[in-house]
Structure 1
């Protein structure tokens, strides 16, 4: 049995923040394009400009916002885990060697 007794808070925050920013781009980019197309098809006056502005926000600022907030929360979570792991010994886990499969 092995124990996870320490998580580097900054490293955990960076990894989680980058993943959150990447996922938000993957989700928000197609969504913002879809919103712009729907707005253009509907023909609402001024709606395209508002939708384009929101789309621009979604593509640029939202991933930055999600990345920074996720970094902060992951940093706090790793720090709290380290405090708890000092008292409890951390999470116990077991690893096994993979067997090669000949196909």
Structure 2
């Protein structure tokens, strides 16, 4: 069976992707920035608070980017059709 996705929820998808990118940046970038700042001269180090704000920035930007992408998809799907995929019931 072929199915088409006719609508993507901008808010829900934005929330999920924003939280996932924030969590990923917290695990990857915060330790990396803390490690790098330990070897920088004290005058050039970024403030500790700015390092902790990186995940917040990723959350907001990830949410906005996915929300805009979903809204554009919802407009385009009316004219060009949705993403199409095949599906089957398990055991058949």
Q: Structures share a fold, TM > 0.5?
A: yes
Deviation at 1:88, TM superposition (A): 2.3
Task: Name the larger-Rg structure.
Answer: 1
Ranges in structure 1 where 5+ consecutive residues have no aligned partner: 40-46
User: Which stretches of structure 1, 4 residues or longer, exceed 3 Å deviation after superposition?
Assistant: 96-99
The 5-angstrom pairing of residues 53-64 of structure 1 reads 53=47, 55-58=48-51, 60-64=52-56
Q: Which has the higher contact order (CA 8 A, sep 6+)?
A: 2
Name the residue aligned to 1:44.
none
Ranges in structure 2 where 5+ consecutive residues have no aligned partner: none
Deviation at 1:33, TM superposition (A): 2.9
The TM-score normalised by the length of structure 1 is 0.74
Deviation at 1:86, TM superposition (A): 1.7
Q: Which secondary structure state, in structure 1, belongs to the residue aligned with residue 20 of structure 2?
A: helix
Q: Which secondary structure state, in structure 1, belongs to the residue aligned with residue 4 of structure 2?
A: strand
The 5-angstrom pairing of residues 1-103 of structure 1 reads 1-39=2-40, 47-48=41-42, 50-51=44-45, 53=47, 55-58=48-51, 60-98=52-90
Deviation at 1:96, TM superposition (A): 3.6
Q: RMSD across aligned C-alpha pairs, in angstroms? A: 1.9
Distance 1:52 1:80, change over 3 A: closer
The TM-score normalised by the length of structure 2 is 0.82
Larger helix proportion, structure 1 or 2?
A: 1
Q: Hey, what's the Cα distance between the residues in 2 that align with 1:78 and 1:69?
A: 14
